[in-house]
Structures are given as structure tokens and as C-alpha cells.
């Protein structure tokens, strides 16, 4: 008798569950209860829009709760494979607005014998991934002493900068306000004995000048004056001239393969 009652209860449970599930499916399919009511996608280009739709599963359009669940995964995948920032806002029940914007290249950096775009948000990517053209600023060569990336080779896609860009921003802000910065071709960014060391290559009237400086705050603002004083006392020619301002009590000037002036 007890087993018969259990079978009846089991049959009733299965019937009730099937009825409710079937009713819910019928309502969702025919009345679109959870389908997207409205969706705005704002992208900077047609190829970015195409890439987004390729990543968006069809069920996200049919069921907005699935879209809510999947949106963070789609954002992470978009931002890892293309240099963009993705943000999505809910404008109401079943109403959403997704805005996609490019990461703007701020500087070109050289790391592990390869050129990379660097954005002010602190992301790097290879030009072949998405080419924006060369930024109108000198290339910074990042020495391995500053790298936080310990893996072999280089990362794929878009990735966080392999070094802290806060000091680079500080140096760039100070340098860009001085007249000599427009002549810069290349900057080597390194660290030695716990101090930042920069080798700045300049093209001045066809002659190559290499400034060697450390991160001493006061001296950074005086580079313009120091450089003008030194250049007024030397003759620029086809040989490289090195102006070493990394000492605390002197400036050392040398020509390639020659002696030095202090």
C-alpha cells in the first residue's frame, strides 16, 4: 500500500513539474516574457560591431537574464582580444545599452625586441593586433629590469602593462614641458642600483646627442637649462655626444670613442 502511494506521489510530481515547465516554455516562447525589450549597441567601427555580435550567443537576445549573466564574460573576451573598453548599462527591465570605445595609443614602447602600443589606462598590445599608426611621441625602450612579466616570450592579445606606468607618466609629463623634448627620437628606461636611469637620444641639427639622467626630481626640471649650457660650449658633428647628468656634483660630456669633458 505504501509503495503504491509513493508511486502516485511520484507520478503527480512528474506531471506537475512537466506541466509547469511546459507552461513556462510556452509563455516564454510565444509571449517573449524574458526577451530583450530594447538593446542599443554603440561601437567605434563596423569590424568591432561584427566581432561583438560574433561573441554574443543567440540566447542572450531571447532571454535577457542570460544576457545579464553572459555580459561580463563577453566584455572580458572583447577586451582581451581587441584594444577596446566595453561597458553595459541597464536602462529598464529588458532594456540595455552597450558602449564600446577604443583604447587610444598613448606611447609606443619597445619591450623584448618588439614594439607595442601603450594606453594611458595601462594596457599594451602589438600593432599587428590592431594598428592605429605610430603615436607622435618618442619610443620608450623598457628594460627587463622594470618588467613584471616572468613568462617566456610575450603575452597574446591585450594585456596589462608589464611595468608600472606611473613613473613613466611622471617623466613624460616633466619632459614634454621642456623645449628639447620635440627633438627626442628614443628613450631607454632602466633601473640601476635601485634608481631609475634614462638614456634619451636626441637629433639636434643633424647631430646625435644622448642624455643620461636619473630620477632625481630637482634635476629633471633643469634639463633644459643644463642642455643649453652644454651645447653652447661644444661643436656638434657626426659623432655621438653623451651628456651624463646622472652624477650629483658634475655633468660629464664625452664624444664617441674619445675622452671626456667635465
pLDDT one-digit tens code per residue, 225-260: 888 888 888 777 767 889 998 887 888 888 865 554
| pLDDT exceeds cutoff 50 at 21 | no
Q: What pLDDT does residue 218 have?
A: 80
| pLDDT exceeds cutoff 80 at 109 | yes
- Helix H or strand E segment including 14: helix 2-31
Among residues 211, 194, 222, 221, which one has the least CA distance to residue 246? 211
Question: Is residue 245 located within the same domain as residue 152?
Answer: yes
Question: Is residue 176 located within the same domain as residue 124?
Answer: yes
**Residue-wise DSSP of 168-197:** HHHHHHHHHTSGGGGGEEEEEEEEETTEEE
Question: Is residue 245 located within the same domain as residue 124?
Answer: yes
What is the tally of structural domains in the chain?
2
Q: What pLDDT does residue 258 have?
A: 54
Question: Is residue 131 located within the same domain as residue 64?
Answer: no
Q: What pLDDT does residue 195 have?
A: 87
Residue 65: CB atoms within 10 A of its CB come to 11
Is there a domain that residue 182 lies in? yes
The single-letter DSSP state of residue 256 is: T
Q: What pLDDT does residue 260 have?
A: 47
Higher pLDDT, 30 or 108: 108
Question: Is residue 88 located within the same domain as residue 175?
Answer: no
Higher pLDDT, 180 or 62: 180
Domain that holds residue 241: 105-261
Is there a domain that residue 6 lies in? no
Question: Is residue 160 located within the same domain as residue 249?
Answer: yes
pLDDT tens digit string along 70-96?
888 999 999 999 999 999 888 777 788
Is there a domain that residue 3 lies in? no
| pLDDT exceeds cutoff 70 at 206 | yes
Of the candidates 102, 124, 153, which is a domain's last residue?
102
Question: Is residue 94 located within the same domain as residue 172?
Answer: no
Among residues 43, 44, 41, 48, which one has the least CA distance to residue 67? 41
Question: Is residue 254 located within the same domain as residue 133?
Answer: yes
Q: Using CB atoms within 10 Å of the CB of residue 92, give its burial: 0 to 12 exposed, 13 to 18 middle, 19+ buried.
A: exposed
Is there a domain that residue 21 lies in? no
Q: What pLDDT does residue 6 have?
A: 54
Is there a domain that residue 177 lies in? yes
Amino acid at each position: 500500500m505504501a509503495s503504491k502511494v509513493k508511486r502516485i506521489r511520484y507520478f503527480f510530481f512528474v506531471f506537475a513539474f512537466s506541466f509547469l515547465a511546459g507552461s513556462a516554455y510556452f509563455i516564454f516562447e510565444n509571449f517573449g516574457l524574458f526577451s530583450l525589450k530594447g538593446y542599443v549597441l554603440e561601437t567605434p567601427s563596423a569590424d568591432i560591431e561584427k566581432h561583438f555580435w560574433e561573441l554574443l550567443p543567440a540566447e542572450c537576445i531571447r532571454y535577457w537574464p542570460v544576457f545579464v549573466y553572459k555580459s561580463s564574460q563577453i566584455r572580458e573576451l572583447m577586451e582581451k582580444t581587441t584594444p577596446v573598453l566595453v561597458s553595459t548599462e541597464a536602462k529598464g527591465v529588458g532594456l540595455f545599452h552597450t558602449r564600446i570605445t577604443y583604447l587610444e595609443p598613448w606611447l609606443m614602447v619597445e619591450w623584448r625586441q618588439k614594439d607595442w602600443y601603450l594606453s594611458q589606462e595601462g594596457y599594451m598590445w602589438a600593432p599587428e593586433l590592431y594598428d592605429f599608426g605610430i603615436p607622435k611621441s618618442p619610443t620608450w625602450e623598457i628594460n627587463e629590469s622594470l618588467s613584471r612579466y616572468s613568462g617566456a616570450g610575450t603575452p597574446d592579445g591585450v594585456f596589462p602593462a608589464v611595468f608600472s606606468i606611473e613613473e613613466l607618466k611622471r617623466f613624460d609629463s616633466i619632459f614634454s614641458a621642456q623645449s628639447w623634448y620635440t627633438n627626442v627620437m628614443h628613450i631607454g628606461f632602466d633601473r640601476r642600483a635601485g634608481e631609475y636611469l634614462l638614456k634619451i637620444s636626441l637629433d639636434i641639427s643633424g647631430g646625435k646627442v644622448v642624455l643620461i639622467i636619473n630620477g632625481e626630481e630637482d634635476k629633471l626640471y633643469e634639463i633644459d637649462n643644463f642642455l643649453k649650457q652644454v651645447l653652447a660650449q661644444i661643436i656638434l658633428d657626426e659623432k655621438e655626444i653623451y651628456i651624463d647628468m646622472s652624477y650629483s656634483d658634475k655633468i660629464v660630456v664625452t664624444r664617441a670613442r674619445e675622452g671626456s669633458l667635465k
